[in-house]
A and B are shown apart, each in its own frame.
Chain A
Amino acid sequence: MPGFEFSDRPLEPAALRRALEDPACGGFATFEGWVRDHNEGLAVERLEYEAYAELAVKEGERIVAEAVSRFGVRGARCVHRVGALGLGELAVWVGVSSAHRGEAFAACRFIIDEVKHRVPIWKKEYYRNGDSGWVNCERCAQPTGSEHAHEHSHPHRPETVVARRPTAPDYSRQTVLPEVGAAGQARLRAGRVLVIGAGGLGTPVLSYLAGAGVGTVGILDGDVLEASNLHRQTLYSLADVGRPKALLAADRLRALNPDVDVRAHAERADAATLPALATGYDVLVDCTDNFTTHFLVNDVASRLGKPAVLASVYQYEGQLQVVAVGGACLRCVWPEATADGLVGNCADAGVLGPVPGALGSLQALEVLKLLLGLPSPARDGIVLIDLQTLETRRVAARRPAACATGPCMRLPATPAAAPDAEVPAAALARLAAEGYAVIDVREPREAQAQPVPVPHRLLPLARLLEDPAQLPAGGRYLFVCASGRRSRAAVEALRRAGVADTWSVAGGLAAIEAEVTTA
């Protein structure tokens, strides 16, 4: 028999009392809390109770166990109603049986006082004047200093205002929503979400998921924080630069909500790490900045039969796609996996911080919807958002009939490991002198602004990918771009076309300039 429980049906004192009958007991004390018709001068018509059940039951059990050990009683039990109650209805019942009456009275009083004070239960009163208000949230009304933790105004009895830090998060602002409630909060608590990439998209996702009380949050990111991240990655501080983002983010989330099991994976998301890691989670969130990982996350989710929430941004625009189990996936929208470098990322093309912030917030929202079982138009389609014009457009996508059962038919058999494709920036001049044709795959305006310092040819990546055969197969090629990303895509395309002796300058123009400066 549980010491403490909730009931959404009317309580029956006779049955509750019977469960505590014990031939060794000479006394039985009971307390009943009833719905009364007024509170603080207002006439009450009815009320509703809500509880954060998982936490509340644990705390209630603790209180009853404390009462038993402190007063030496033989049996004790407390049952609290949740849901809608009318006037005069029984809201809470406490019963204690013991050898003598003194302990029974004391334990009964202790239990009801502690339950009122420590268990997260919220009462919404509906008044005869048409108003309503949440009261009795004594636990969430424990302010730090003079800060008032809730918004309705009523005088606080001095004994209920205890100046100490809250020991658990207060989810009342979301559990009040009819779509959430105690049951929804329990679903969030049971959720396990892996966030891949702790950058501009990932940081709002992580904050909101931890704040909402999602039970397990994984962070997969192999990068260290750079100063250029701070304008859009709001979890971090200047003093954090140089430290691994997965570890930094994990620290912040644990401070934000100690209830969340935060797991930091400070490694790159690739074909070697992600498939094994993903098995321990229910939802994958792709917050990375490159197509290779977008497709990898999509493919891993599809293989494992888990939903994935994908987003990416370009300057002032974003795309959002929720891959539901059995729904259209990234390869339904992009049948040909897109090469990296074809369109810019945040480093190449620029971005204002709130743009990934907005898209990341939407990703967090979509994750919560998935966990709560709410519908969303971001499934079976993509949502295009232009944050300059604030226009939003949804384009429907359909899963092909051939994929109706099982994972996506377009999945590659196994994700290929990238072959060695790079040469250091320091080798550029030497290799150019040895006869490698140097090819700048940036756009003309970039090439004009920052020229490659050796003889070269300009061939923007998009033009090159249209027809890789325009570069003769017998040639030796060295590709250069701004950061080494587009040049790597060029190498991959040429090697697929059978041109083996082709390389990418690691780090691109940025690394070449650094060489020149330090030389």
Chain B
Amino acid sequence: MNTVEVQYYAILREQAGRSVERVTTAAGTLAALYEELRARHGLSLARTQLQVAVDGEFADWQAPLAAGARVVFIPPVAGG
């Protein structure tokens, strides 16, 4: 099990009802982490519709999840 920090933005923050949380997870990849949190919080967006960043850099969904990672889920935003 790894503990990571997860930050949500925009519609994800709204649906998750929080902007940051610490998550202890068995997920081995960023993709698995998102699917776990998507089910837990009822997030509407599919993984293919958003981007993920780890420690300030965009990351690949299949990248392994390391303990202490700061994970940010970034949905697209359109308003103006």
Contact = CB atoms under 8 A, between A and B. Distances in A.
Contacts of B79: 200, 289, 312-314, 344-346, 349, 351, 356
Interface in B48-76: 48-49, 51, 53, 56-58, 72, 74-76
Interface string A282-320: 000001111100100000000000000001111101110
Contacts of B11: 314, 343-344, 349
B14 interface: yes
Contacts of A465: 46, 49
Nearest to A395: B53
A43 to B, nearest CB: 53
A462 B58 contact: no
A319 B77 CA distance: 7
Given A384-B9, A462-B44, A202 B80 contact: yes
Given A343-B10, A386-B19, A396 B58 contact: yes
Contacts of A313: 77, 79-80
B23 interface: no
Interface stretch (A140-148, A238-246, A331-339): A331-339
A251 to B, nearest CB: 21
A50 interface: no
A349 B80 CA distance: 11
Interface in B1-31: 7, 9-11, 13-14, 19
Contact of B78 (A200, A289, A386, A395): A289
Contact of B10 (A199, A200, A314): A314
A338 B49 contact: yes
B44 A317 contact: no
A393 interface: yes
Contacts of B48: 336, 466
A215 interface: no
A135 B19 CA distance: 51
Interface string A148-160: 0000000000000
Contacts of A92: none
Contacts of B80: 197, 199-202, 287-289, 311-313, 345-346, 356
A463 interface: yes
Given A201-B80, A343-B77, A384-B74, A466 B46 contact: yes
A465 to B, nearest CB: 7
A290 B78 contact: yes
Nearest to A389: B19
A463 B74 CA distance: 18
Nearest to B75: A343
B58 A291 contact: no
A342 interface: yes
A312 B77 contact: yes
A37 interface: no
Interface of A: 197, 199-202, 287-291, 294, 311-315, 317-319, 333-334, 336, 338, 340, 342-346, 349, 351, 356, 382, 384, 386, 389, 393-398, 443, 460, 462-463, 465-466
Given A334-B76, A343-B75, 9 more contacts: A199-B80, A291-B76, A312-B77, A312-B80, A314-B78, A319-B74, A342-B45, A386-B9, A465-B49
| Across the A-B interface, the 8 shortest Cβ-Cβ residue pairs | A289-B80, A314-B10, A338-B76, A462-B44, A314-B77, A346-B79, A395-B53, A345-B79
25 contacts: A290-B78, A291-B76, A312-B79, A313-B79, A314-B11, A314-B75, A314-B78, A317-B9, A317-B10, A317-B13, A317-B77, A334-B76, A342-B45, A342-B49, A343-B45, A343-B75, A344-B79, A349-B79, A356-B79, A356-B80, A395-B74, A396-B57, A463-B44, A466-B46, A466-B48
